[in-house]
Amino acid sequence: MRMRIAVGLVLVIGMMATTPVTAGAQISDSDNAGAVQYPDLQTREETPEEDSLPFTGFVALPLLVTGVVLLAAGGVMQHRARQRD
């Protein structure tokens, strides 16, 4: 049981360390993490062009991939534990 927890923690920490964007910016509607953390401060952002594409939620893909990887790792660990018994 301790080995499962240790491997799970290593996987989670490794995935968190390799993601390039903070979780707050991924979950929020803004692509600026500073604006999410400090909403009262005014920033020097330029106004977006009228011909730009709308926000589509593409940042949800890293969260989905992380979940699939963690589920697969859990399944592999469960399968190996059953083979030992």
- Provide the mean pLDDT of the chain: 75
Going from the C-alpha of 68 to that of each of 15, 37, 47, 52, the distances in angstroms are 12, 28, 37, 31
Task: Please indicate whether residue 58 or residue 27 has the higher confidence score (pLDDT).
Answer: 58
pLDDT at 36 exceeding the cut of 90: no
Q: Which of 5-9, 72-76, 81-85 has the highest mean pLDDT?
A: 72-76
Q: What is the DSSP letter of 30?
A: -
**Residues contacting 25, CB < 8 A, separation 6+:** 31, 32, 33, 36, 59
CA neighbor of 27 nearest in space, from 51, 81, 63, 66: 63
Q: How many CB atoms lie within 10 A of CB 83?
A: 7
